[in-house]
Amino acid sequence: MRGYFAHRSPIYARAVELLAELLRDPELAARLDQAWRERSFPAFFDRPLLLLAVLRARVLAAGPAHPLGPALGDDAPQVDALSGAALAAELSADALWTELARRHVQTNDPTRAVAWLWPAWLGGCDRGARPLALVDVGASAGLNLIADALPAAWRDGAGAPLPVARAVQTVARLGLDGAPLDVRQAEDRAWMRACIWPGEATRRQRFDAAVEVVLAGNVPVIERMDASSFTDRIRELQRVLAPGTLVLAYQTVFREYLEAMVRAAYLDGMADWIASAPKSCALWIELEVAPEPTREHPAALIAHVREGQTLVIGRCSFHPDVIDVDAQAAAALARALTARM
C-alpha cells in the first residue's frame, strides 16, 4: 500500500508504513479484526483509507495542538512530525475503534461533477436547450448534483477550458446511496473533510465551496437504498418524464466499493436500462479506473449509450481538473445523443 500513496501523499505513505509495524502487535491486530469482523472491503485501498481518515478526523477535532496535528492536519503536512509513538497513542483510544467499526470512506469531490457537466453539454442540454434528469449513483452527500453552481474547474489536455453545460433545465436531480451523508450536519461535514487527504488545499476549498451552496439552500435530494434497487429507480424516473428528456445517470469512483456479486448485478442492470431506454434519451457515465490506467491518468470517463456504444471520452485523475479528451469518442457521443433532436 505504501506505493499507492508514495507519489501523491508522502505523509500517508509514511503513516501506512508505521501503522503496518504497529499492527504486528497481536493485541492491536485482534482489535482491528474485531472492529471489522462484520465488514467487507472489496476495494484494496478501502481499509487503509478508512484507518487514515479516522485518525485524521480525531486530529482535526482536537485541533493543531494534537501531537499528530503537524502531520495529519490540513496544511503543509510534515513527514518528520509523524511518529510511531503518537500513532500508537491514538490506537490505544477506545473511541478510535468505535469509529473504525461504523465509518465508511465517503468523499464527495465536486471536480468529479465533470462526469455530468461535460456529457450534458455534448448531449445538447446547455442553456436549457433540452430537459435533463440527473441521477447520481452512489451520491454520498450529493455535492456533484449542485456543482454547476460552482465555477467551472476543468481544462482539456491543451489547456483550453472544457465546455460544460450551464443554466441547465433540470427536471430531476436525484442522488441514490446506501448510506448518504448530509453536509448540513456538522458531524457529517467533519467526517467528509477528514476523508480529504492532508495538504490537499484546493480539494478542500472546492469541498467547502460546495458545502456553502448547500447551506445557502440548494439542498440535493438523496434517496437511501441498496445498489440492487438503483436501476429500478432510474427506470421509474424515466417513465414519468416528457419525451426527449435526457436521463443522465453517472457514478464517480463507486463500483470498486461494491461486493463482486452486487457489482455484477448493478452493471448488468445499468446495461439493460441503457439497451431498453428511448433512443438518444439515456446516458450512463462512469468515472472509474481507466481501462489502461497510468500514473498521470488513472481514471477515465466512460460513456454508455443505447446504440451499443461504450466510449472512453476522456482520461483524467480521480480528482480531475484536466481531461485528456478523445475528440473522436466525444463527437460520437454527441451524435448518438442528438440524433433525434
Express each pLDDT in 19-63 by its tens digit: 999 999 999 999 999 999 999 999 989 999 999 999 999 999 999
pTM of the model: 0.95
Helix spans in 36-159 (H): 46-62, 69-72, 84-91, 94-102, 114-122
Strands (E), 43-146: 131-137
Structure confidence by residue, pLDDT tens digits, 284-303: 999 999 999 999 999 999 99
Q: Which of 218, 240, 238 is nearest to 230 (CA)?
A: 238
121 pLDDT more than 80:
yes
Q: CA-CA distance, 307 to 304, in Å (whole number)?
A: 9
Q: CA-CA distance, 138 to 196, in Å (whole number)?
A: 18
Q: Residue 205: in which H helix or E strand, if any? A: helix 201-215
Q: CA-CA distance, 270 to 37, in Å (whole number)?
A: 31
Helices and strands: H and E segment counts in the chain = 13, 9
pLDDT reported for residue 99: 96
Q: Pick the residue with more confidence: 325 or 38?
A: 325
Could you tell me if 303 and 284 are in contact, meaning their C-beta atoms sit under 8 angstroms apart?
A: yes
Q: CA-CA distance, 167 to 186, in Å (whole number)?
A: 30
Q: CA-CA distance, 170 to 161, in Å (whole number)?
A: 23
Structure confidence by residue, pLDDT tens digits, 236-269: 999 999 999 999 999 999 999 999 999 999 999 9
Contacts of 280 (CB under 8 A, 6+ apart): 246, 305, 306, 336, 337, 338, 339, 340, 341
- Residue 63's SS3 state is coil
Q: CA-CA distance, 297 to 315, in Å (whole number)?
A: 6
Give just the sign of the alpha carbon dihedral 228, 234, 239, 244. Answer: negative
